[in-house]
A and B are shown apart, each in its own frame.
Chain A
Amino acid sequence: MTDFTMEKGADGVAIVTWDVPGKSMNVLSMDGAAELDALIDEALADEAVKGIVITSGKQDFAAGMDLNVIAGMKEQGGAQGVFDGVMKLHHLLRKIERAGMDPKSLKGGKPIAAALPGTALGIGLELPLATHRIFAADNARAKIGLPEIMVGIFPGGGGTTRLARRLGAMAAAPFLLEGKLCDPGKARAAGLIDEVVDDPVAAAKDWVLRASDADLVKPWDQKGYKMPGGEPFHPAGFMTFVGASAMVHGRTMGVYPAARALLSAVYEGAMVPFDQALRIEARWFTNVLMNPSSGAMIRSLFINKEALEKGANRPDQPDQKVAKVGILGAGMMGAGIAHVSAMAGIEVVLIDAKQDAADRGKSYSEGLLDKAISRKKATEEKKSEVLARINATTDYAALDGCDLIVEAVFEDPQIKAEVTKKAEAVIGKDAIFATNTSTLPISDLAKASARPEQFIGIHFFSPVDKMMLVEIIKGRATGPRAVAKALDFVRQIRKTPIVVNDARFFYANRCIIPYINEGIRMVAEGVNPVLVENAAKMMGMPLGPLQLVDETSIDLGVKIAKATRAAMGDAYPDAAVDEVLFRMADEGRLGRKSNAGFYAYDDTGKRQGLWDGLAARYPRADEQPGLTDVQHRLMFAQTLEAVRALEDGVLEDIREGDVGAILGWGFAPWTGGPFGWLDMLGAARAVEICEDLAERHGARFACPALLRDMAAKDQTFYGRFGQQKQAA
């Protein structure tokens, strides 16, 4: 198996081609790096070779480092292993950059250029940045950038140091700190690459044959190099660095160690020569990799998310790809589902009781496409193509030939039962019927179906076109083919699935509701609501509980509370929450949609501060809790529910629990999910916190037996459940 091959041309140009066998995208492994290293040595030593062009044998250049390798480096060698591995990579890239030139005179090196046919991400850009000139194909589909920060690490293959020196700290910031990607044209304009051409290999060959000694010397290897925008103690640079720390700190709420480490690498590196800067970068990169947060983020946001998308929990069934989907109900959810289905090339029948309602559902798609066109993300052709796939109608007969039905009518068992019967009368006997519901038990809804083993729940999140998670719910009678169908459908529409069993609120809502309720409960207790909201955000939650309930609407909360109360009777534990919730609803403070809720809004609907009426109604307690106490309440409200879901068998796989939490309700991504977070805390410490919270705040924090057992056995969730799953 060779990832890199070299062909020496008669013209003196050695073409090094990156083409990892058996993969659609190149990723760099340590073995691959060693191969490249050997080829570069060979080419530099070979007098017949005048210059080198590094390119790809695939449509794209590379997707980055193999994150599994990075995870492995840490497990095998600890900090020293990571550092040594990273330094090895630096030596290779530095060898390319110096290209055999005399270190004093800077003469005599061999020109090395990168030719990128398409996408170049992560190390796929860091390697080109080490060459002397980067040529990219004029390929609007290609994405170029350094997205490492998105999975909790930062560009550690010299990309941080090279880009900061190439562009200056300010200009490099969007690429390093936000992981901004761009097409080749924009990448050239930003200075990430040098040239956009029709045939990058030909242009690169031409360039290496013409390049002079001076063309090979990077600015930072020249005497008198000055960092664009100024180094940290240059007056202008000073302001940049002061601002950068504040901005990163504020935006990340201080919970993402990678952003902090990246800035430190840039700052410390900017004041020393290049080779030392690389070593500094490697030390910080090692530091980030050794931080449990990066491992947890890579695990959930990359490795496990991908595994779930590829069908890790798919029953062994033949291909269930959807050709034609029938969507019942053209409201917000139905219209969204229709849109993502049509975008994925699936024929859609969008049904509503009235034609104008069905048409409105279709026009939702039109609106989204128009917006995409105005942002140059779609074309008129694409729009008419997608819209042509949606048949908006009132006629159930149109469902004929659908192999999947997604029912998304009003959350009323009666109505759902009616449309189920109506649809089943038309569709083929093999078709799968899915109900989109966020609250109603699937097994109950399945009673309306003549074929409950073909009946399944698919819970989409709103807005459907933006939210990446789809929760698939198995009813008691749901068969494996229905699960496979749902999973294949989710894969077609390019979302991430989790499969859970049927119980009240399934998984996501089961965890979100206690989070919201805990926030509201604190308001009732007289805790400063500002503290509640900030405490949540400082744990990495995208929205505080009060803002979240304002967004999802307070009347929905009331509706859920009433239904839950009716189902639970005397055991209902949330009367204190309802007191607040019902009062808000009674006054018409329904959240964002009524321009009034826990927050105040201006006339245009822009959120102002927290509503000052809260303080009058729920007077501020003299003794305010500490930040950690508030955070523990908000986090344990969610995580204990996740543990209970696992105990109850609602969750069958902790990977789904973690990925689902991050994608479903934005659960603190830096933790890698609720189970990841509990593993970071350690079971023993988690039990301690539970006991303390239960004693002071009530039985809802009672420690689940599972967690207690894990503490006794000194286990982690991924230790106890992760391996089991891998073996299976």
Chain B
Amino acid sequence: MTDAFIYDAARTPRGKGRADGSLHEVTSLALSARLLNAVKQRNNLEGHAVEDLIWGNVTQVKEQGGCLARSVVLASDLDESIPGLSINRFCASGMEAVNLAANQIRGGAGSGYLAGGVEMMGRVGMGSDGAAIAVDPGLAMKSYFVPQGISADIIATEYGFTREDADALAAESQRRASRAWEEGRFDRSIVPVLDQNGLTILDRDEYMRPGTKAEDLARLKPSFKDMGETMPGFDRVAMLKYPHLDHIEHIHHAGNSSGIVDGAAAVLIGNEDFGKAWGLKPRARIRATAKVGTDPTIMLTGPVPVTEKILRDSGLSIGDIDLFEVNEAFSAVVLRFMQAFQISPDRVNVNGGAIAMGHPLGATGAIIIGTLLDELERQDKTLGLATLCIASGMGAATIIERV
């Protein structure tokens, strides 16, 4: 089988996903195209260099609808001969784009790909594309649908994580993210967002709150308590699924859950010949990819079984992995991952995560692959595993190996 290598990984800084966020003035299309142009330029690629653009995006309506990937190709400096594929696996869309590209290459379908994703959460609201699972009574009841925040609280209840555990993890994410920025650990990946005149719009993750202490977070009100306990009473639905639970502990809030932000990320993937053709040095091999479907109600436990699967498939053990990126969708997701595999927090999300910097849904999967690679290089380690929990009960993972 042909090896698939990562030649470059880049991302935009993440803007607050609100009307006053710095990227709010930028379209999804422009953000994507400018990032890809930067990747093309810094790798000295020609417009026809890659086989396809696989672009992850969750809320595929309005400016993100209509096969955004094709529009991005046409808006960018890439040739029109490159087609463009928009994909949606919710929060793992960016990772799935990378994995799909890698597996195309491994299977011999093309030598180079651009993959990644974008989400402008402040411009195209999360959930504004509708969702049968939430709203179709037949499926909502069959799948015991509850919103993700309730799912995260179920994880906390089921696996015994307290509000203090969750807040401590969140404060640590802030500390690590802020240290990483201070020490320039993201320098290689970050592509500042420029306007059409070359003027800088944003060059730094703006969602972060450096200096946040667990005590500050302790003051925040749980976000999902009302909808769980009162209207419309999702806890009762959860208890139908998990009848051994007496109640749900509502521990998550805005400060220990991922932030709503705008952002994009891209990964340049190719086989060995691709690197030779364009004079590029491979940074890492994509060693393995995996995805699973899991219980849709507790929903966010996917990282555990998908990690078990990817390890099984690749013949590796958890101890072989040097560093982990586990998307900080909610504190409990990461806590559960560390608990299940008995991993030291030192090896997980070394430079903070989505709680501190935000989670632009369609881009995050590609972002954390880049972050993982940067940190493996910084620490001079070999194997890294990135994984995300996914809405409706799925999980995705990628193992990369430095070369």
Interface residues, chain A, CB within 8 Å of chain B?
A: 232-233, 235, 238, 241-251, 253-254, 260, 263-264, 267-268, 528, 530-531, 534-535, 538, 609-610, 624, 627
Report whether over half of chain A's contact residues are helix, strand or loop; otherwise say mixed.
Answer: helix
* Separation of A235 and B130 alpha carbons in the complex (Å): 9
One of B138-146, B165-173, B282-290 at the interface: B138-146
Residues of B within 8 A of A610 (CB): 246
Residues of A within 8 A of B140 (CB): 242, 245-246, 249
Residues of A within 8 A of B138 (CB): 260, 264
Contacts A251-B233, A260-B138, A528-B244 known; 9 new A-B pairs at CB < 8 A: A242-B232, A247-B233, A249-B140, A249-B141, A263-B137, A534-B244, A538-B243, A609-B246, A609-B247
* Separation of A247 and B234 alpha carbons in the complex (Å): 8
Residues of B within 8 A of A248 (CB): 137, 141
Residues of A within 8 A of B232 (CB): 242-244, 246-247, 250
Least CB distance from A298 to B in Å reads 23
Nearest A residue to B139 by beta-carbon distance?
A245
Residues of B within 8 A of A243 (CB): 231-232
Q: How large is the interface on B (under 10, 10 to 19, 20 to 34, 35 or more residues)?
A: 20 to 34
**Contact across chains for A244 and B130 when beta carbons are under 8 A apart:** no
A–B complex contacts, Cβ < 8 Å, 6 sampled:
A246-B140, A247-B233, A250-B233, A260-B141, A267-B137, A528-B244
Known: A243-B231, A250-B233, A267-B136. A531 touches B240 (CB 8 A): no
Quick one: which of A235, A241, A534 contacts B137, CB cutoff 8 A? A241
* Separation of A134 and B339 alpha carbons in the complex (Å): 64
Residues of B within 8 A of A238 (CB): 127, 130, 134-135
Nearest A residue to B134 by beta-carbon distance?
A242
* Separation of A492 and B324 alpha carbons in the complex (Å): 75
Q: Which of B14-48 contact A (CB under 8 A)?
A: none
* Separation of A610 and B237 alpha carbons in the complex (Å): 19
Least CB distance from A581 to B in Å reads 22
**Contact across chains for B137 and A530 when beta carbons are under 8 A apart:** no
* Separation of A528 and B244 alpha carbons in the complex (Å): 7
Quick one: which of B128, B233, B243 contacts A531, CB cutoff 8 A? B243
Residues of B within 8 A of A245 (CB): 135-137, 140-141, 145
Residues of B within 8 A of A247 (CB): 231-233
**Interface residue? B100 (CB, 8 A):** no
**Contact across chains for A249 and B240 when beta carbons are under 8 A apart:** yes
Quick one: which of B130, B145, B244, B246 contacts A624, CB cutoff 8 A? B244
* Separation of A254 and B240 alpha carbons in the complex (Å): 8
Least CB distance from A283 to B in Å reads 12
**Contact across chains for A535 and B136 when beta carbons are under 8 A apart:** no
**Interface residue? B75 (CB, 8 A):** no
**Contact across chains for B136 and A246 when beta carbons are under 8 A apart:** no
Residues of B within 8 A of A530 (CB): 243-246
Least CB distance from B147 to A in Å reads 8
* Separation of A609 and B232 alpha carbons in the complex (Å): 21
Residues of B within 8 A of A263 (CB): 137
Nearest B residue to A528 by beta-carbon distance?
B244
* Separation of A268 and B135 alpha carbons in the complex (Å): 10
**Interface residue? B239 (CB, 8 A):** yes
Residues of A within 8 A of B127 (CB): 238
* Separation of A132 and B243 alpha carbons in the complex (Å): 49
Least CB distance from B214 to A in Å reads 28
Nearest A residue to B238 by beta-carbon distance?
A250
Residues of A within 8 A of B130 (CB): 232-233, 238
Q: Which of B176-191 contact A (CB under 8 A)?
A: none
Residues of A within 8 A of B141 (CB): 245, 248-249, 254, 260
Nearest B residue to A535 by beta-carbon distance?
B243
**Contact across chains for B244 and A264 when beta carbons are under 8 A apart:** no
**Contact across chains for A249 and B144 when beta carbons are under 8 A apart:** yes
Report which residue of B130, B140, B231, B234 has the largest number of chain A beta carbons within 10 angstroms of its beta carbon.
Answer: B140
Quick one: which of B145, B243, B245 contacts A246, CB cutoff 8 A? B145
**Interface residue? B236 (CB, 8 A):** yes
**Contact across chains for B135 and A250 when beta carbons are under 8 A apart:** no
Least CB distance from B341 to A in Å reads 23
* Separation of A640 and B327 alpha carbons in the complex (Å): 52
**Contact across chains for A246 and B246 when beta carbons are under 8 A apart:** no
Residues of B within 8 A of A242 (CB): 134-135, 140, 145, 232
**Contact across chains for A250 and B240 when beta carbons are under 8 A apart:** yes
Nearest A residue to B144 by beta-carbon distance?
A249
**Contact across chains for A267 and B240 when beta carbons are under 8 A apart:** no
* Separation of A561 and B237 alpha carbons in the complex (Å): 37
Residues of B within 8 A of A627 (CB): 243
